Each structure stands twice: as structure tokens, then as C-alpha cells.
Amino acid sequence: MERLQKVIANSGYCSRRCAEQLISDGKVIVNGEVVSELGFKVKDKDEILIDGVNLKKEDKEYYLLYKPRGVVSTAKDEKNRKTVVDIIKTNKRIYPVGRLDYDTTGIILITNDGELTNLLTHPKNKIDKTYIAKLKGIIDVKSIKELSNGVVIDGYKTAKSRVKLRKVDKKNNTSIVEITIHEGKNHQVKKMFEAVGHEVLKLKRESFAFLYLGDLKPGEYRKLKIKEVKQLYGLFK
């Protein structure tokens, strides 16, 4: 027997967090009874309905997308803006692993594997994510050290990060900085640089765990290799 939210997530219907919300909202029926208890366990033969539709297991799909600017990192958008899911050509119900800001570009994973999504986004698992930021102004060594040791944003101190100065353009008064973090707070990277007095002009996520964009251009994507999926799961053993 397995927890209901895990079964829903593993089916590819949605992420585990989304499944928990559906259960809490009373939208899940097991064997004819509405279930609202998150710890509820089900068997393989149990009939599960979500919004009146029978839950079916789907083959898992995994994509690595180079998110372009001006695309939202959700499956659906209330404002009818283009989403990362709109870019992927599939008939499966897929969703992004975490989020990137509307104006941030770079690597993002898209899948229908709720269990892997939960593992990759849970704060305790500390998945490294590397960003390249173009800053207004010339950043100094003191600020880089502060960022590395953690800065206070929104009332909390960020975890230690790896920060490297890549380039300085004195003529245009800008800096290019590489920063690797394992947290994923809202607008975190931008707020961290703002905390040391620098506005982020452009932001790109260059890597996620051991995955890189490679030769992909903005708006392009590829399927993950089976070996890569196994490696992602291997991060949690």
C-alpha cells in the first residue's frame, strides 16, 4: 500500500504537492468515497477518481528545456501567457520542476514524474543550481565574499553559495557573475545581489544538478536520456 498523493504523483497526473492540494480540496474519490486525509493509503486495485475522471498511469517523460525570456514556468497561466509546457510537443500531462522568473532564461526540467519532481524541489535535498547574472555596477571582492557566506533577504539569511566573477565591463559599468545556490526562494538570486547593492539586468540558469544546456538555444529542448534520469534518482540514495 502507498500514500494516495504518491500514487497520484507517480501516475503522472501532477506533482505531489498538487496531489496533496487536490486531496485537501476533496477532489479525489477512492472506491466511491471522498478522501481528504493526506496519509490515506491505497492498493493497486483501488479505483481513484480525480474530478470525476479515472486515474490512469502514464509512461514517464522527461525533458530539458532552454527556457526563453517572456515564458512562464507553469503548466497553465491565468493571464494566458505562453508557458514552458506549451513549448513541449507531447500529449502527456506534464509540468515544470520548480520555476524560473518570467524574465529569467535557462535550464528547466519538464516531466510527468511527480515523485522525481518532489525529490528535486524539496529543500532538504539541496540540489545545486548555477546562474549567470549580468549586474549593474562593478561588484567588489567584499560583496562577493558576503554573497558566498550568505546575505539577509526577506528576513532570513541565505545559505552559503559559490560565487565567481567572470567579467567586468568598466565602459558599460556592468559585471558578469556566476553564482551557485541550492535554495529556491522566490526571486532569490535577484534579491541576493540587491542585498549587496547590485541590480540584476539579466539572469540565466546555466545548470541544474549535473545537467547543462549544451548546444540548446532558447526555446529548444531535448528528452533526458535514461542514464540521466537514473543519475537524478541516484542523487537521493
Residue 95's pLDDT is what?
Answer: 93
Give the separation between CA 20 and CA 35, rounded to whole angstroms.
Answer: 11
- Beta carbons within 8 Å of 218's beta carbon, 6+ residues apart: 66, 67, 68, 69, 105
**What is residue 129's predicted lDDT score, i.e. its pLDDT?**
98
pTM equals 0.82
128-208: which CATH number, 3.30.365.10, 3.30.70.1560, 1.10.287.90, 1.10.150.20?
3.30.70.1560
Q: Which residues does the chain have with pLDDT short of 70? A: none
Name residue 156's amino acid. Y
Output the CATH code of domain 62-124+213-234: 3.30.70.580
DSSP conformation class of 97: S
The secondary element (H helix, E strand) that includes residue 232 is: helix 226-234
Residue type, 116: L
The answer to whether the 62-124+213-234 and 128-208 domains have the same CATH topology is yes
pLDDT at 120 (0 to 100): 95
Rounded CA-CA distance 156/191 in Å is 12
Element (H, E) at 147: helix 141-149
What pLDDT digit, counting tens, does each position of 158-205 carry? 999 999 999 999 999 999 999 999 998 899 999 999 999 999 999 999
The catalytic residues are 101
Class of domain 2-54: alpha beta
pLDDT of residue 237: 80
